[in-house]
Structure 1
Amino acid sequence: MDDIPLYMLRAIAALFLIAVNASVAGTFTVFRNVSFLVAGASHAALAGAALAIVLETYNIFSMNPIVGGILFAMFTAIAAGYASKDEGINTAIGISFALSMSLAVLFISMIREYAARVWGLLIGDLFLLTNEDLVLMLISTLLVVFVCSLLYREFLFISFDMEGAMAYGINASMLNYVLLSLIAVAVVVTLKGVGAILVFAMFVAPAAAAVEVAGNVRQVFILAFLIAMVSGFVGLAISFFYQVSPGAVASLFASLTYFAAVAYRR
């Protein structure tokens, strides 16, 4: 352990947390058929992070950019869930996505000298994580796992049959808000390691691949975790010996795993 660089240990710890989120929240994302929310939440996080830096720059309020990103992503998810009552949920997510990106560009234009802090979330890097980043990722992951475990059956019900859940007397609307918010939180957790550009592949591809080959719901969660972990370790191993992005390699491997799973099933 003494021979392993500290940044590598942080990267491995972050990778485990990312795999947990990809397994739990990523699987529910695929079940609920709201994969587009991953892109919407990740770019909403850019706006939230930029706003946090704006507030800090003008001495209004001090807040960690990741916390700002989580709050903004949750707001986007809830807004999309509310608007989806009248429009399709992907349409609502798309409009929320456009709103978030507009705000992100606006806020970044106000802090040009600090814009690099925001753009860092766009790319992400497992090797540049700090201890504070890991603590935030751990707290957020524990929250996601705890709530999803507590409401596991209800989340499955509304994911596969929203109308049936409402007819059964379950408060499906509120549970939908909670599930979408947890997905948004998990996306931001993953964002710090792989970036907004690649988070979709790392978050959705493992669960989508697992759905193709798993025999039951429990196997989907397990396989999604294993695929995400293996993808991450492949990315770390290759980037350790070659000057390439670990997140890019991990996302590429996870995406290829999905297509391999589809080919295997057929």
Structure 2
Amino acid sequence: MSLAIGVSTLVEPLQYGFMQRSLVIAIIVGIICALVGSYLMVRRLAMLGDAVSHAVLPGLAIAFMLGGNIYIGAFASGIVSTMAIAWIQTRSRIKEDAAMSIVLSSFFALGIAMITVLQKSNKIDLLHFLFGNILGVSGADVRDTAIVAVLVTVAIGVFYKELLFYTFDPEGAEAAGLPVNLLNFGLTILMALTIVASLKTVGLALVLSLLITPGATAYLIVKRLHEVMFLGAGFGVVSSISGMYLSYYYNLPSGPAIVLVATVFFIVAFCFSPRHGLFTQPRPSQHPEWRILKELRELLR
């Protein structure tokens, strides 16, 4: 009886066309976010991903005003933001993290201001862009996301070795004659494409979590980058599909639901990973929190 109920729970939503489209989008986005996010995590570029994800908002607003494709506008805005970060960093004493923060906040504020103005004469849902709406995807959204996924996957497959070398040893890659600047720019383009493809699924505010969390979860379990990519893609797909069902049955925003599922996977891996789990590999004398407690005890004496 319980098995029949479980199967019915899984199958019932798939009778609807919007749920079928949502399922396809969930699988695609879960895969490409993990693939690109693995590189960002290893290169410690999570902050750049956050900056770009927020910086695409003005492009959305401008494209909407001009009657163009909002996804093309978002992509262009993301690329401009990374160029602005690099320009500030190279032309001033400002460090990269500060440049990212400046660009993130200014682009995001500009986007919100533009959308606020647009809302006075047009119906444009800001929450839809911020937190995603996977249950509202159209056939065109599925097509565009699939095209982006193919481009991202093919690019990673063709340049896997070069990106692997550059990701783990940028100086060595440059010494070996690899075009490190082009590789860095190419990785930025892949990241911007992935963020744009994830707009309907998790939205601008939460796309960074889907980019980083599944890969980080896999990183706690396996060693090699290709293993992190494959396992991270699995976590991303399961998180996206589970979040989609939670969104359907409990009327939750799709983005937060997906991110919460991905976070649960990370917490489980963080606690019980065979190699790095908090409870499976306890080393009290080496953990910083134990050293802090020791220092506090010394001070109280």
Structure 1 residues 249-264: aligned runs within 5 Å? 249-264=257-272
Is 1:90 matched up with 2:134?
Answer: no
The one-letter amino acid of 2:179's match is N
> Which shifted more, 186-195 or 89-98?
89-98
Report the CA distance between 1:256 and its aligned residue: 2.0
Report the Cα distance in structure 2 between the residues aligned to 1:143 and 1:168, rounded to whole angstroms.
Answer: 27
Report the Cα distance in structure 1 between the residues aligned to 2:55 and 2:212, rounded to whole angstroms.
Answer: 18
Contact 1:36 1:93 in 2 (8 A): yes
- Which residue of 1 is the match for residue 297 of structure 2? none
Report the Cα distance in structure 2 between the residues aligned to 1:115 and 1:91, rounded to whole angstroms.
Answer: 35
Question: Between the two proteins, what is the percent identity of the paired residues?
Answer: 24
Asked which structure has the greater CA Rg, the reply is 2
Instruction: Name structure 1 gaps, 5 residues minimum.
Output: 57-62
Report the Cα distance in structure 1 between the residues aligned to 2:100 and 2:32, rounded to whole angstroms.
Answer: 20
Report the CA distance between 1:95 and its aligned residue: 2.2
Residue 236 to residue 192, structure 1, CA distance change in 2 (3 Å): closer
SS in 2 for 1:90: helix
Instruction: Name structure 2 gaps, 5 residues minimum.
Output: 1-10, 278-301
Report the Cα distance in structure 2 between the residues aligned to 1:151 and 1:241, rounded to whole angstroms.
Answer: 41
1:243 to 251, 255, 262: 251
Structure 1 segments of 4+ aligned residues over 4 angstroms from their partners: 81-88
2:58 to 41, 47, 67: 47
Report the CA distance between 1:87 and its aligned residue: 5.1
Residue 90 to residue 260, structure 1, CA distance change in 2 (3 Å): farther
TM-score, structure 1 as length reference: 0.89
The one-letter amino acid of 1:26's match is G
Report the CA distance between 1:81 and its aligned residue: 4.3
Contact 2:135 2:248 in 1 (8 A): no
Structure 1 residues 1-266: aligned runs within 5 Å? 4-56=15-67, 63-81=68-86, 83-85=88-90, 88-112=95-119, 113-114=121-122, 116-264=124-272, 265-266=276-277
Contact 1:78 1:177 in 2 (8 A): no
SS in 1 for 2:15: coil
Report the CA distance between 1:181 and its aligned residue: 1.6
The alignment's C-alpha RMSD in Å is: 2.1
Report the Cα distance in structure 1 between the residues aligned to 2:125 and 2:254, rounded to whole angstroms.
Answer: 19
The alignment of Structure 1 onto Structure 2 pairs a total of residues equal to: 260
The one-letter amino acid of 1:91's match is A
Report the CA distance between 1:100 and its aligned residue: 1.2
The one-letter amino acid of 1:32's match is R
The one-letter amino acid of 1:96's match is V
> Which shifted more, 152-161 or 4-13?
152-161
Contact 1:207 1:224 in 2 (8 A): yes
> Which shifted more, 172-181 or 37-46?
37-46
TM-score, structure 2 as length reference: 0.80
Contact 2:131 2:254 in 1 (8 A): no
Deviations 1:40-59 (A, max 9, x none): 12211211101111223xxx
Contact 2:51 2:104 in 1 (8 A): yes
Contact 1:78 1:180 in 2 (8 A): no
The one-letter amino acid of 2:202's match is V
Contact 2:195 2:207 in 1 (8 A): yes
Report the Cα distance in structure 2 between the residues aligned to 1:87 and 1:175, rounded to whole angstroms.
Answer: 23
> Which shifted more, 19-28 or 222-231?
19-28
